[in-house]
Structures are given as C-alpha cells and as structure tokens.
Amino acid sequence: MIEREISKLQTATLSRIQAATTLEELESIRVDVLGRKGSLGHFSKHFLKLTPEERAPAGRALNTAKEEIARAFESKERAFADEALRQRLESEWIDLTLPAWGPRPGSLHPVTRIQVEIEELFSSLGFAVLDGPEVETEYYNFDALNIPTEHPARDMQDTFWLTDGNLLRTHTSPVQVRGMEKLGPPLRMIAPGRVFRNEEVDPSHEHTFYQVEGMMVDRDVSVAHLIYFMQTLLSAIFKREVKVRLRPGYFPFVEPGFELDIHCLICNGSGCPVCKQSGWVELLPCGLVHPNVLRMSSIDPEQWGGFAFGLGLTRLAMMRYGIDDIRLMQGGDLRFLSQF
C-alpha cells in the first residue's frame, strides 16, 4: 500500500523536523524529502504504475503529506527565528535606567586659573579689574608710557605692527593708561590679558602670552607700599615662602624701577632652561610710576604718586605647575590641557 509508505515517510519526516536543532539541519531534511531526488519525488514516479482507482487516494495521501511537511518546516523555521531574536534581545539588552555619562567636564587653562586667583586677591584689596583692546595705538602702547622713540621695544623685531600704524599691544600697560584717564586718582587697578611680541619661539619664548599689570595711585605712595603688595601677591600665589631678590631695573614708565626675581621653582636653583641656568627667574618688574606717565594721563605728580608692577602670568603658571616648555601653553594639546 503506497498510502502507508507515504504516511510512514510523513511521520518520520515530521519527527526529523521536530528534532532538528539548526537551520542547516532543517535544510538538509528539506533536500532529502522534497528535493529533486528526494523521497517524496520518488513516490510520484511510482504513480505511473498505479491503476486509476489506486491513484486518487494515493494522490490525496501525497498531497496531505506535502502540506503537513511544509507546515512543519514553516513552524520550525519560525521557531528558529523566534529563538534567534530572543537570543539577540538577550545579548543586546541595555539598562535604560543607568544614569547617562553626561557632558565631559572641561577644565580651566593653567593660565586662567592663576589669573582668576590674582583677580580675586586684588579685588579683595580694593583693586578694579580692567580689560582693554588687544589692538592698540602707538600712543597708548608707547608714548603715554614714556617709552622713547628710540626704545628697542618700538622696533619691528619686538612689536607686531599693523599696516595702519596700530599694533598688537606688547603689554597690558595701555589698559592702565586708559584706566588712569577714566578713573582718575586715587585708584587701584589691575589689567590682566593677552599680549604679543615678535619673538623667536623656543622653550621659554612665545609670541603670545599673558600678563597682569597692576597700579595703585594715591597720596604718599612709597616703595614700602610696593614691597608690601608684592609680598602679599607672591605668598598668595605660591602659598608658601619663596626666595626673592630685588635689583634695580630700568623701565621708562617707572622711577625708581626694580626687578624682583624669584628662586627658580622648576630646578630649585640648580639651573634649567627656564631660568637659563641662573637659578633665578625674572618674575616681577615693578617701580614707582614715572611722573611723566602720571602727567600724560592728567594726574598731577605733585599731588599723587603710585606704584606699578607687571607680572608674566604665563611664566608664573609654568613655575606653579612645573611646565618646562612655554609652547605647551598655546599648543592646544588635550593630553596637556586635561591634566589641569
């Protein structure tokens, strides 16, 4: 009986399908049974030998078997697909209740940090914090500061001159000149900011750097006041005693003028590129404001006197953080910046 044979094949195939564990296995069963040389096809050939009466029930049995087997394949395939999806969902599961990373916090540049500290210190001492243009006139940058025409700072080698006769400020003094004009005496002010010099760049020279200048104008201001404020400033910055030395120094805008040097904090005085092997770093030029400078800004030097100083913020930050190459400061390298 061919129907029985078909039914046996159907049962066997259904259990093979049921037992299959992979898609590949399922495919090989499909080839075995439904393929061109498969076992079901084999029955079709036998049909030729059947009588017409035998053919109808055998055909029905064959069709039923084909349908059942096809349904079983379909449902097994669906089961495989469901399982694959379940496994994917399992492995790709994320916990949506975890807190987000949030924005990566940035940090202040070492120069900015020192600048903010100095601004806070001087604010607490009654000084105004002033800002001013980076492109200046020759008058504010040089003439008003008693810097003579033949002074080397005016040379092309030292100053970035613009084609219109203006220049990139070489110090923040022009901000103080503007401050004297605007505020009038008595006054206390500091002027932090970016300045520019036409320098050959090396580990201790940059064309762009930061400084803060400060000035106090009042009645009877003396070198004693100057020294008091400079000591207050340095102990606040270094949070410890630093060795200093005071030498006479010449600056056209002060008289008398001083060079205040500190013992090099990088090499502890033994000599390094930053202190040019001397063990000392020029840190704080200062002095009493020159009468000509006061007069040019409409302050009567007979009535008023003042002290002034200029502090290199960039060099100070290098001292504070032990940075031995000034080029790192403007380099924008995140490996450097993210350390602060």
C-alpha to C-alpha distance for 321 and 178, rounded to whole angstroms = 33
Task: State which residue, 72 or 289, has the beta carbon closest to ligand 2NL.
Answer: 289
**253 interacts with ligand 2NL by CB under 6 A:** yes
In the shown chain, the binding pattern of residues 273 to 302 toward ligand 2NL, with x for contact by CB under 6 A and - for none, equals ------------xxx-x---x---------
Question: In the complex with ligand 2NL, which residue's Cβ is closer, 25 or 143?
Answer: 143
Q: Quick one: which segment of 43-51, 157-165, 173-181, 332-340 binds ligand 2NL (CB under 6 A)?
A: 173-181
Give the whole-angstrom CA distance, residue 113 versus residue 318.
Answer: 12
By residue count, the chain amounts to: 340
- Residue 76, number of CB atoms within 10 A of its CB: 19
Instruction: Tell me how many residues contact ligand 2NL (CB under 6 A).
Output: 20
Structure tokens at 139: 């008058």
Question: Which of 254, 266 has the CB closer to ligand 2NL?
Answer: 254
Identify which of 118, 106, 122 has the alpha carbon closest to the alpha carbon of residue 314. 118
Least Å distance, CB 103 to ligand 2NL, is 37
Q: Which of residues 122-141 bind ligand 2NL (CB under 6 A)?
A: none
Q: Which one of 65, 189, 254, 326 is in contact with ligand 2NL (CB under 6 A)?
A: 254
CA 34 → CA 13, 172, 225, distances in Å? Answer: 10, 92, 106
**Is 213 an interacting residue with respect to ligand 2NL (CB under 6 A)?**
yes
The Cα 164–Cα 182 span in angstroms is 26
CA distance 229 to 131: 21
Return the half-sphere exposure (C-beta side, CA atoms, 13 A cut-off) of residue 59: 10
For residue 128, give the amino acid letter: A
Instruction: Tell me whether residue 13 or residue 297 sits nearer to ligand 2NL (CB atom).
Output: 297
Residue 265's CB: how many other CB atoms inside 10 A?
Answer: 20
Q: How far is the CB of 105 from ligand 2NL (least distance, A)?
A: 33
d(CA 154, CA 167) in angstroms, rounded, equals 10
Does residue 177 belong to the site contacting ligand 2NL (CB under 6 A)?
yes
Select 55 or 263, whichever has its Cβ closest to ligand 2NL.
263
Q: Is 309 in the site for ligand 2NL (CB under 6 A)?
A: yes
Half-sphere exposure of 29 (CA within 13 A, CB side): 24
Q: Say whether residue 169 binds ligand 2NL (CB under 6 A).
A: no
Return the range that interacts with ligand 2NL (CB under 6 A); candidates 66-74, 181-189, 224-232, 247-255.
Answer: 247-255
Q: How far apart are CA 175 and CA 297, in angstroms?
A: 12
Alpha carbons 195 and 213: distance in angstroms, whole number: 11
Closest separation in Å from C-beta 246 to ligand 2NL: 13
Interface region with ligand 2NL, contact rule CB under 6 A, candidates 57-65, 148-156, 218-226, 304-312: 304-312
Asked if 329 is part of the footprint of ligand 2NL (rule: CB under 6 A), the reply reads no
**Residue 168 touching ligand 2NL (CB under 6 A):** no
Copy the structure tokens of residue 66.
């084909």
Q: What single letter denotes the amino acid at residue 272?
A: C
- Which residues would be at the binding site for ligand 2NL (CB under 6 A)? 145, 171, 173, 176-177, 211, 213, 215, 251, 253-254, 285-287, 289, 293, 308-310, 312
